[in-house]
Amino acid sequence: MFDGVAPRYDLMNDVMTGGVMRWWRHEALRAIDPRPGERILDLAAGTGASSRPFERAGALVVSADLSLGMLQEGRRRAPDLHFVNADALHLPFADGAFDAVTISYGLRNVEDTLAALAEMRRVTRPGGRVVINEVSTPTWGPFRALYRRVIVPALPTMSDLLSSNPGAYDYLAESTLAWPDQRRLADLMVEAGWRHVEWKNLSGGMVALHRGIA
């Protein structure tokens, strides 16, 4: 599915969020706080748009994704980045290989959330950190109702105008509505072995940044 949307994936993200996704990504960058020489695993990196800021900060970034189409598009756009085909449930990296692991808008696409969180924990060194940037549950009741009943169901219709695979955005809407809220995801992180778990709501809870320490 993601192979089919790779060429216009980043454009669709900008259009469907009215450009707000760029701010969400900036907040995720601040949360991960990359430092020169650190090893950072960017999971579900897609075309590498989320990885570039870490590279610019001097970190050593591995951009991992399961979709070969996304990786091919990423290598075309950013041949200097290090792309790896990887399954989040079976990461091809040693224990404690990274100082930080991050994933943006990809965790809900993994079949087993808890197992993915545990695998991310495995490849993070003791004291290392994780930042999860993901859709979430709006905190204000009236806006939450609008979001679930109007905004999210409208995503597939919006995608018809620009996407090379509009059907993929039916899945996007379904997975967004089915995703755990902030507290439930935090509980899963703790269950997977992460410590000091906390979250920050963005745009009223449409998106939440979850952080934890290995």
DSSP per residue, 104-151: ES-GGGSS-HHHHHHHHHHTEEEEEEEEEEEE---SSHHHHHHIIIII
Lowest-pLDDT choice from 69-73, 189-193, 203-207: 69-73
Task: Taking residues 27-40, report their average pLDDT.
Answer: 97
Q: Does an H or E element contain 84, and which?
A: strand 82-85
Taking 80 as the threshold, does the pLDDT of residue 159 lie above it?
Answer: no
Q: How confident is the model at residue 18 (pLDDT cuts 50, 70, 90)?
A: confident
Taking 80 as the threshold, does the pLDDT of residue 90 lie above it?
Answer: yes
Structure tokens at 195: 């410590």
Taking 70 as the threshold, does the pLDDT of residue 7 lie above it?
Answer: no
Taking 60 as the threshold, does the pLDDT of residue 101 lie above it?
Answer: yes
Calculate the alpha carbon distances from 76 to 69, 83, 109, 128, 144 in Å. Answer: 11, 11, 24, 31, 39
Taking 90 as the threshold, does the pLDDT of residue 93 lie above it?
Answer: yes
When the pLDDT of each residue in the chain is averaged and rounded to a whole number, the result is 90
Question: Is the pTM of the predicted complex or chain greater than 0.85?
Answer: yes
Calculate the alpha carbon distances from 107 to 56, 117, 140, 145, 176 in Å. Answer: 24, 9, 24, 24, 11
Instruction: Give exposure, 128-140, as e/b (b: 16+ Cβ within 10 Å).
Output: bbbbbbbbbbbee
For residue 65, the SS3 value is strand
Contacts 24+ apart (CB under 8 A), 162-170: 162/8, 162/11, 162/12, 162/15, 163/5, 163/8, 163/12, 164/4, 164/5, 164/7, 164/8, 165/1, 165/4, 165/5, 167/1, 168/1, 168/2, 168/4, 168/5, 169/12
Q: How confident is the model at residue 153 (pLDDT cuts 50, 70, 90)?
A: confident
Name the residue with higher pLDDT: 172 or 37. Answer: 37
Taking 80 as the threshold, does the pLDDT of residue 158 lie above it?
Answer: no
